[in-house]
Amino acid sequence: MSDEEVDMVARLHTDVLKTGKIVSLLRKQFPGTCIIDKDVHNLIEKLKKENRVGDTPMQVFENFLNENDFVYYTRENSSTNRVEDVFFCHDTSFRMWCAFPYLLLIDTTYNTNMYKWPFV
């Protein structure tokens, strides 16, 4: 990919366009280019990773929650000032829970972490 194409992908991605739309716009702007969806996807992931340089895993996690409309609460250990618990759910789910607070279902069957503990 040329520098012009990379710049265009970076600008279009900040405008929240889907990968397929970015590819079609690139093909119109640069006829004869051999760009495929996977190229654009890989470049977007590379740009995201460059933007996260220096962030701790917790900062990356909180940024993700904020950018994707999640409601979350954290609880820190007062002596170590480290996060021990995080509750998060999508904004729509949170609003439904507020409307019907008598029942809360949590599904822990999806996956476990490196300690083989449920992700709850």
**Are residues 17 and 39 located together in one domain of the fold?**
yes
| pLDDT tens track for 50-107 | 776 677 888 888 888 988 889 999 999 989 988 888 888 888 888 988 998 888 777 6
**Are residues 59 and 46 located together in one domain of the fold?**
no
With cut-offs at 50, 70 and 90, classify the pLDDT of residue 22: confident
- pLDDT, residue 17, reads 73
What is the DSSP secondary-structure string of 4-31? Answer: HHHHHHHHHHHTT--HHHHHHHHHHHST
Q: What is the largest CA-CA distance in the chain?
A: 61
Q: Residue 117 above 70 pLDDT?
A: no
**Are residues 59 and 87 located together in one domain of the fold?**
yes
**Are residues 37 and 88 located together in one domain of the fold?**
no
**Are residues 43 and 72 located together in one domain of the fold?**
no
**How far is CA 31 from each of CA 22, 65, 94, rounded to the nearest angstrom?**
14, 38, 47
**Are residues 60 and 90 located together in one domain of the fold?**
yes
**Are residues 22 and 70 located together in one domain of the fold?**
no
Q: Quote the crossing angle between the two packed helices 37-51 and 3-14, to the nearest 10°.
A: 70
The Cα 66–Cα 6 span in angstroms is: 26
Token match 């609460």: residue? Answer: 73
pLDDT, mean over the chain: 80
Q: Residue 113 above 70 pLDDT?
A: no
Torsion of CA 110, 116, 118, 120, to 10 degrees: -120
Rounded to a whole number of angstroms, the distance between the first and last alpha carbons of the chain is 42
Residue numbers of the domain that contains 94: 55-120
Torsion of CA 64, 69, 72, 76, to 10 degrees: 30
The share of the chain scoring above pLDDT 70, in percent, equals 82
**Are residues 45 and 66 located together in one domain of the fold?**
no
Q: How many domains does the chain have?
A: 2
